[in-house]
Amino acid sequence: MTVRTPYLGRFAPSPTGPLHIGSLVAAMASYLDAKVHHGQWLVRIEDVDGDRNVAGADQHILASLQRCGMLWDGEVSWQSRRTGLYQQALRQLGELVYPCGCSRKEIADSQLSLTGRQAQALIYPGTCRHGLAPGKNARALRLKVPQAPHCVLHFDDRWAGPVSQDLTDEAGDFVIKRADGFWAYQLAVVVDDGAQGVTDIVRGADLLDSTPRQLYLQQLLGLPRPSYLHVPVVTNELGEKLSKQTGAMAFDHGAAPQQLLQDAMLPAARLLGMELRADHIDAFWRAAVPAWAQVLRNLPNPR
Ligand code: GLU
């Protein structure tokens, strides 16, 4: 394995509910990856979407990480306190950003949609690209994606292997500030990863098809490209992502350590391809670090 130093990883949960098995899998993978590479691991609370935040969920998530023995380096950061950075990035993007007055309904009528987590997100037909139509008010801010020649972005995911996306056809001009005034995830995540110097992003595969938009933003903002590893997301028998909303993945972080291991940590490790045995939390991590190094040896792309 090529050793690249330094390594700065992060876990970036949205505080929309307690940590559940699905998000624990992402947290565990990013934590272990940082440990295997003798790196640092940050926690950033992605509370930029004011509509979906649940009061107290941030503290609950942090307490769960601590109970599971995942201790972060440095101070926790909150996106809601970093909006000045997003404003600055917006200025930097300059003329590539334009106001859009279209409603979801109007965009839906173009009948194109993104896949994955963005199943509800619609590919924008470019209506306001050259100016707001008469009688329309600016709602969201969108970023122009090159139209011709096509803008195809490639990256090598450490887990999924080579990924390419034609941003023009598969994403379209995307929102960087939403109609409700909140900064969009795509912009905030890129600005923060860049500002914090994150070198390695390990997260759920539901974000795989957001990554090319993030690479595009990195290029425009002159930020270095981190390395990516997207771990498979936990799905039900229909292949649907299990979410916090279903409650199916909940676990009690207040349970005794042995219970926490049985109910959450060992199952999460199993979902990452690690069959571990441990009867206390320290023993779990002692076994998990070499087990993750072994998982990495079987991946298409070493770091
Ligand atoms: N905040 C996102 C989530 O909770 C993760 C963002 C990321 O890791 O890039 O799903």
Per-residue pLDDT tens digits for 99-128: 999 987 777 655 444 544 444 467 888 889
Separation between Cα atoms, residue 115 and residue 210, nearest integer Å: 10
Q: Whose CA is nearest to atom 7 of ligand 1?
A: 12
Decide which of 117 and 152 is more confident. Answer: 152
Would you state the pLDDT for residue 234? Answer: 78
Which atom in ligand 1 lies closest to the alpha carbon of residue 13?
4
**In terms of C-beta density within 10 A (0-12 exposed, 13-18 middle, 19 or more buried), how is residue 128 classed?**
buried
What separation in Å is there between the alpha carbon of 189 and the centre of ligand 1? 8
Q: Which of 46, 64, 206, 249 to mutate to test the pocket of ligand 1 (most atoms within 8 A of CB)?
A: 46
Q: Whose CA is nearest to atom 6 of ligand 1?
A: 12
- The secondary structure element, H or E, covering residue 9 is strand 8-11
Residue burial 22-52, b: 16+ Cβ < 10 Å; e: rest: bbbbbbbbbbbbbbbbebbbbbbbbbbbeee
- Residue 209 burial (CB count, 10 A): 18
What separation in Å is there between the alpha carbon of 56 and the centre of ligand 1? 18
The CATH number of domain 8-85+186-297 is 3.40.50.620: yes
Task: Give the residue extent of every domain in the chain.
Answer: 8-85+186-297, 96-177
Per-residue pLDDT tens over the stretch 256-267: 999 999 999 999
CB contact at 8 A, 221 and 54 = no
Q: Which residues line ligand 1 (CB under 6 A)?
A: 12-14, 46, 189, 203, 207
Copy the structure tokens of residue 43.
Answer: 């926690």
* Strand 77-78 relative to strand 40-45, pairing: parallel
Sequence-ordered alpha helix ranges (H) in the chain: 21-36, 57-67, 83-93, 104-108, 167-170, 185-196, 211-221, 257-260, 266-271, 281-297
Q: What is the mean pLDDT of the chain?
A: 90
C-alpha Rg value of the chain to the nearest Å = 20
The pTM for the full model equals 0.92
Whether the link from the prior residue into 149 is cis, omega within 30° of 0, is: yes
Q: Which of 185, 208, 213, 245 to mutate to test the pocket of ligand 1 (most atoms within 8 A of CB)?
A: 185
Separation between Cα atoms, residue 187 and residue 229, nearest integer Å: 20
Sign of CA pseudo-dihedral 145, 199, 13, 23 = positive
- The secondary structure element, H or E, covering residue 48 is none
What separation in Å is there between the alpha carbon of 13 and the centre of ligand 1? 5
Class of domain 96-177: alpha beta
What separation in Å is there between the alpha carbon of 204 and the centre of ligand 1? 8
Copy the structure tokens of residue 223.
Answer: 């930020």
Q: How much of the chain exceeds pLDDT 90, in percent? A: 75
Neighbouring residues of 134: CB distance < 8 A, sequence distance ≥ 6:
none
What separation in Å is there between the alpha carbon of 116 and the centre of ligand 1? 14
Per-residue pLDDT tens over the stretch 29-59: 999 999 999 999 999 999 999 889 999 999 9
Whether the link from the prior residue into 6 is cis, omega within 30° of 0, is: yes
Would you state the pLDDT for residue 112? Answer: 44
Would you state the pLDDT for residue 124? Answer: 87
Separation between Cα atoms, residue 255 and residue 234, nearest integer Å: 22
Separation between Cα atoms, residue 80 and residue 45, nearest integer Å: 9
Which atom in ligand 1 lies closest to the alpha carbon of residue 214?
9
What separation in Å is there between the alpha carbon of 207 and the centre of ligand 1? 8
Does the pLDDT at position 22 exceed 60?
yes
